[in-house]
Amino acid sequence: MAYVLAACSLLSASEATSECLHIPLKLAKKCKGPAGPTGAEGAPGPTGPTGTQGPMGASGDTGATGPRGPAGANGSNGSPGPTGPVGSPGATGPTGATGPSSTTGSITARTAANSILRPNTNQAVIAQADCLVGEQIVGGGTRADATDPANSESMHMQESGPTATGWLGRVSATQRFAQGSSLVVTVTAYCLQ
């Protein structure tokens, strides 16, 4: 019935003398019905091609200077530099005062030695040579030897000098000597008769 009425209304606007009952049935099918529901959203279309690159923008203003950063850690020490050239000789010093005249007499070497088998680290070996009664000490020296050459660099001279009656030497071991090795200290006192 709704389709027939819509057809009659359209026909009345074009032909006032026609009757609605004489409209062919196919004209009623052309009448527009109410709007249907909205269809589902279609799938996204394909991505379009990349556009051309735009022109470079103008340079921005220079920013303000940032705060000063903390001081860095000290670097490692560098390797020692090469040895410098030998300096020129210094000026000759003044002549010393004349020493006292020597007394008449002969000089005799008095020798003494002391030995310790396989001394411990820092253990001292002491030797002392004395002049005879009536003699005067005028010089001397100390010598240290190891019976095993492997310990020849394992000694340290701690003292070598005169005493009231002669000469004293003190030598210590810088490490434990090898098996069977001894530290021998020999002292010589030069005595004036």
Phi, psi of 22 (to 5 degrees): -90, 5
pLDDT digits (tens, 9 = 90+) for 41-91: 888 889 889 888 889 888 888 888 889 989 888 888 888 888 778 767 777
- Domain boundaries in the chain? 1-31, 107-192
Closest CA to 144 of 130, 117, 125, 118: 125
The alpha carbon torsion through 145, 150, 153, 157 (nearest 10 deg) reads: -30
pLDDT digits (tens, 9 = 90+) for 47-59: 889 888 889 888 8
CATH architecture entry for 107-192 = Sandwich (2.60)
| Mean pLDDT value across the chain | 82
Quickly state the pLDDT bin for 150 (edges 50, 70, 90): very high
Is the pTM higher than 0.75? The answer reads no
Neighbours of 22 (CB within 10 A): 7
